[in-house]
């Protein structure tokens, strides 16, 4: 590939990512009312430019779901401390990401966030298959982490509950910090 061709590929990838991030923002703020024209404007592209990358609204919604799933994995991986060479490393990264260290996940999983908005948009045809694949991948990652399975489930779903309560009156920053500390302690194999 020549340098100009590489630049075109990078520009297409940047534009596609900008449209996906703009769609996330628009759907989060306006839900089903978000139009393709609004999304294009937020992304800084024309509506026809958006349609070049995503032929239909349903395709865009499906790709937003896929993008969000991919970003969730990126966020968790970014919170794994590679120096922790003991069981529970992945689970600790998950806890960190879900208990305030990831602004992206906090925003996406808030009660009025992107996942709630996507749920009101109706599932894209590929969403169910993507969810099945994603659920299997999360389960495999947690199963391979070296912690007792029941403990991992309790920690994982406690972290999920905490992220849904962040920035609500039901969970103070101090409570979040204490819960995070407790969950991280539970990831240590020697703990009861």
Residues 138 and 68 in one domain: yes
Each residue of 150-165: pLDDT tens digit?
A: 999 999 999 999 999 9
Residues 25 and 71 in one domain: no
The pLDDT confidence band at residue 145, using thresholds 50, 70 and 90, is very high
- Please tell me the pTM assigned to this model: 0.84
- How far apart CA 189 and CA 192 sit, in angstroms, is 8
Residues 43 and 130 in one domain: no
Domain carrying residue 14: 1-55
Each residue of 3-41: pLDDT tens digit?
A: 555 554 558 888 888 999 999 999 888 887 889 999 999
3-class DSSP assignment, residue 131: helix
Q: Where residue 112 sits, what CATH number does that domain have?
A: 1.10.357
Question: Quick one: residue 168, left, alpha or beta (phi over 0 = left, psi -120 to 50 = alpha)?
Answer: beta
What is the predicted pLDDT for the residue at 4? 53
Residues 74 and 34 in one domain: no
Q: Give the mean pLDDT of 71-78.
A: 96
Q: Is 94 exposed, middle or buried (0-12, 13-18, 19+ CB in 10 A)?
A: buried
Residues 49 and 71 in one domain: no
What is the predicted pLDDT for the residue at 126? 65
Query: CA 179, 184, 185: angle at the middle one, nearest 5?
Result: 95
What is the predicted pLDDT for the residue at 8? 47
Number of domains in the chain: 2
């Amino acid at each position: 590939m020549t340098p100009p061709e590489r630049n075109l590929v990078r520009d297409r990838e940047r534009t596609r990512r900008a449209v996906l991030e703009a769609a996330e923002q628009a759907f989060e703020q306006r839900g089903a009312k978000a139009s393709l024209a609004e999304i294009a404007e937020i992304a800084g592209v024309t509506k026809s430019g958006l349609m070049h990358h995503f032929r239909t609204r349903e395709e865009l919604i499906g790709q937003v779901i896929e993008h969000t799933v991919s970003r969730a994995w990126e966020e968790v991986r970014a919170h794994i401390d590679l120096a922790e060479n003991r069981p529970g490393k992945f689970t600790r990264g998950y806890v960190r990401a879900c208990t305030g260290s990831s602004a992206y996940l906090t925003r996406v999983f808030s009660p009025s966030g992107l996942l709630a908005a996507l749920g009101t948009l109706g599932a894209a045809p590929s969403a169910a298959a993507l969810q099945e694949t994603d659920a299997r991948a999360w389960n495999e990652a947690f199963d391979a982490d070296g912690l007792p399975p029941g403990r991992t489930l309790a920690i994982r779903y406690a972290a999920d509950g905490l992220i849904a309560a962040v920035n609500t009156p039901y969970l103070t920053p101090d409570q979040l910090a204490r819960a995070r500390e407790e969950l991280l302690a539970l990831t240590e194999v020697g703990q009861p």
